[in-house]
Amino acid sequence: MKILAIVQARMGSTRLPGKVLRDLGGRSVLACVICRVRQCRSIEDLLIATTLETQDEMVVKEAVRCGTQVFRGSELDVLDRYYQAARNSHAEAIVRITADCPLIDPEVSDLTVQQFLNKRPDYASNVLERTYPRGLDTEVMTFSALERAWREASEPYQRAHVTPYLYQNPDQFQLLSVKDECDHSGNRWTLDTPEDLEFLQAIYARLGGSVDFTWRDVLRLLESEPALAEKNFHIRQKALDEG
């Protein structure tokens, strides 16, 4: 089974414009995500899916600089962007990762993919019942499930967020939730605001600018410096229908 990771990335962001190219330890956020996804053993190929907007030429240049293939498609219909990218790549299974997760963890992503391969659902993820920190989000789906969502999803938020049509229809799709033994879901490790960026820059600085640390290294760091988590603890995650 050909497993393709598609990382969605664009410069447009209402709360932090250009966030995917902000600096983290001497690399762009996007470069950090690419480096960490490449450490996944279960993912055969990686593709950056960006938009046709002029401002996203910068995303294309950074992806090419990192040696990553690029697909360009709709800015607002991200589901169509994913589907067209997967179809063009002849992928049988798609791993959805977003470029605002520079702490994405190869161990966690590999576990999600492996559970998908073992149980063979239509869709598997570690976000159905959150136990991992927000920012380690990994979703895996069959191409046929993605194609059906692309064909049938009609709500704007379902098109913008790619996978809601799948997990909102458990009677039509076989779903698999991947969970950790402990609940760390109260941790916010994603990038959407200046406060998030400050938090992530502090994490990368404490860890020497490396991309080879694990999510457990971050947990240990936060245990020793709990004030770090206060930088963005108050940030509210936007609802699905807010874009």
Q: Which residue has the tokens 């692309």?
A: 150
Q: What is the C-alpha to C-alpha distance for residues 155 and 174, in angstroms, rounded to an integer?
A: 21
pLDDT digits (tens, 9 = 90+) for 77-112: 999 999 999 999 999 999 999 999 999 999 999 999
* Contact in structure between 100 and 29 (CB atoms under 8 Å): yes
Query: What's the pTM value of the predicted model, to 2 decimals?
Result: 0.95
pLDDT in the model for residue 230: 84
Q: What is the C-alpha to C-alpha distance for residues 162 and 159, in angstroms, rounded to an integer?
A: 5
Q: What letter would DSSP give residue 52?
A: S
Three-state DSSP state, 66: coil
The average confidence (pLDDT) of the chain is 95
pLDDT in the model for residue 169: 98
Three-state DSSP state, 154: coil
* Contact in structure between 79 and 149 (CB atoms under 8 Å): yes
At residue 196, does pLDDT exceed 80?
A: yes
Which one has a higher pLDDT value, 227 or 116? 116
At residue 60, does pLDDT exceed 80?
A: yes
- Domain of residue 73, CATH code: 3.90.550.10
At residue 145, does pLDDT exceed 70?
A: yes
pLDDT in the model for residue 234: 78
Lowest mean pLDDT among 11-25, 32-46, 118-132, 134-148: 11-25
> Domain range holding 21?
3-242
**Concatenated DSSP letters of 97-142:** EETT-TT--HHHHHHHHHHHHHH--SEEESTTTT-SPBT---EEEE
Instruction: Give the helix ranges, DSSP H, for the chain.
Output: 29-37, 57-65, 78-89, 106-119, 143-152, 156-160, 164-167, 194-206, 215-224
At residue 242, does pLDDT exceed 80?
A: no
- Buried residues in 210-228 as b, exposed as e (16+ CB within 10 A): ebebebebbeebbeeeeeb
Three-state DSSP state, 89: helix
pLDDT in the model for residue 15: 85
Number of H helices, E strands in the chain: 9, 9
pLDDT digits (tens, 9 = 90+) for 69-85: 999 999 999 999 999 99
Number of domains in the chain: 1
Confidence band of 133 (pLDDT split at 50, 70, 90): very high
pLDDT digits (tens, 9 = 90+) for 200-235: 999 999 999 899 999 999 999 999 999 888 878 777
Lowest mean pLDDT among 64-73, 128-137, 138-147, 225-234: 225-234
